[in-house]
């Protein structure tokens, strides 16, 4: 039988290491992700989660190893591939005077797909407006990006990623630094509204309570290494979690266990 066992993997990292000067951010990471798989990357702050996503979309150089996404190597210059990977970055500071509206910001997701210098068609703008509507932010369409709340900004980033219509979706702590109601809204979008199985999704979080109910797989990172990789029901258990977080002030809440037991 000549079936290529790797063909079902659309994203893979092989022996990838990333160093910042003498600091090792990723240490010999080997991981593969199947088409349509929803993986939660869990780990304490500084464990390398953001670096892993950046290495996958070509935003960070790795000193060792190789990365393949859709059969190609990501790099900051591989625009064709970058268009196929939608990346919702960790919340950043935005200049309140930045002269761009929510609608324009979402439209940049389309502009990225079409290529620089190409004008958006009527159909592209329709997709942008329908997505704003669907995410529930059309009332903000003409507001400057710097004048909306953190939760609204996250919804804007998710809308921008969705109009890109990419098969790979990378979400970096989409619920961090926003108020609890907004966190619920974002989780709700991810759990119920977005058809996540049309994407191969890597969802990063350091908070247990922010793990979406629908996840196929958990990868735990610690000190830049894959510390565990398996099914949620095997890994989301008190013993593992306490060990992952080094027992430092971490306590597995009852709410969390109840929430995830029925997979
Ligand atoms: N640009 C950078 N320069 C130096 N060190 C960095 C840089 N980015 C990340 N690091 C370090 O690499 C490690 C992993 O960072 P990161 O991937 O952001 O972790 P996480 O997202 O899990 O919090 C951390 O120790 C962090 O301080
Ligand atoms: Mg991070």
**Alpha helix stretches (DSSP H) within 164-252:** 180-188, 232-235, 238-244
Q: What is the 3-class SS of 119-170, one letter each residue?
A: CCCHHHHHHHHHHHHHHCCHHHCCCEHHHCCHHHHHHHHHHHHHHCCCCEEE
Domain residue ranges of the chain, discontinuous segments joined by +: 9-232
pLDDT tens for 194-207 read 877 789 999 999 99
* Separation between Cα atoms, residue 171 and residue 88, nearest integer Å: 5
Residue 248 has what pLDDT? 57
* Separation between Cα atoms, residue 176 and residue 178, nearest integer Å: 6
Best residue among 17, 25, 60, 172 to mutate for probing ligand 1, ranked by most atoms within 8 Å of CB: 25
- Copy the structure tokens of residue 150: 């953190």
Structural class in CATH, domain 9-232: alpha beta
pLDDT tens for 94-121 read 788 888 999 999 999 998 777 767 789 9
In the predicted structure, residue 256 carries a pLDDT above the cut 70 = no
Query: What is the torsion angle, in degrees rounded to the nearest 10, for the CA atoms of residue 61, residue 118, residue 200 and residue 60?
Result: 10
Asked whether the beta carbons of 220 and 42 are under 8 A apart, the reply is yes
pLDDT tens for 119-174 read 899 999 999 999 999 999 999 999 999 999 999 999 999 999 999 999 999 999 99
Best residue among 16, 23, 27, 45 to mutate for probing ligand 1, ranked by most atoms within 8 Å of CB: 23
């Amino acid at each position: 039988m000549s079936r290529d066992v790797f063909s079902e993997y659309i994203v893979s990292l092989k022996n990838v290491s990333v160093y910042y000067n003498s600091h090792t951010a990723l240490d010999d990471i080997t991981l593969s992700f199947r088409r349509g798989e929803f993986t939660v990357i869990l780990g304490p702050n500084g464990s390398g989660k953001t670096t892993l996503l950046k290495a996958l979309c070509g935003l960070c150089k790795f000193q060792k190893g190789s990365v393949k996404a859709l059969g190609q190597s990501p790099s900051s210059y591989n625009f064709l591939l970058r268009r196929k990977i939608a990346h919702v970055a960790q919340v950043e500071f935005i200049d309140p005077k930045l002269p761009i509206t929510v609608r324009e910001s979402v439209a940049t997701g389309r502009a990225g797909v079409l290529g620089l210098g190409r004008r958006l068609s009527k159909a592209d703008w329709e997709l942008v407006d329908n997505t704003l509507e669907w995410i529930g932010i059309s009332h903000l369409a003409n507001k400057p990006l710097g004048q909306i709340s953190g939760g609204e900004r996250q919804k804007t980033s998710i809308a921008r990623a969705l109009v890109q219509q990419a098969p790979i979706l990378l979400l970096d702590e989409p619920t961090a630094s926003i108020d609890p109601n907004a966190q619920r809204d974002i989780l709700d979008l991810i759990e119920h509204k977005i058809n996540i199985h049309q994407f191969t999704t890597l969802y990063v979080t350091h908070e247990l309570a922010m793990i979406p109910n629908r996840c196929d797989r958990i990868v735990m990172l610690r000190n830049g290494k894959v510390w565990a990789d398996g099914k949620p029901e095997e890994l989301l258990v008190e013993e593992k979690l306490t060990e992952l977080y080094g027992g430092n002030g971490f306590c597995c809440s009852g709410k969390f266990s109840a929430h995830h037991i029925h997979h």
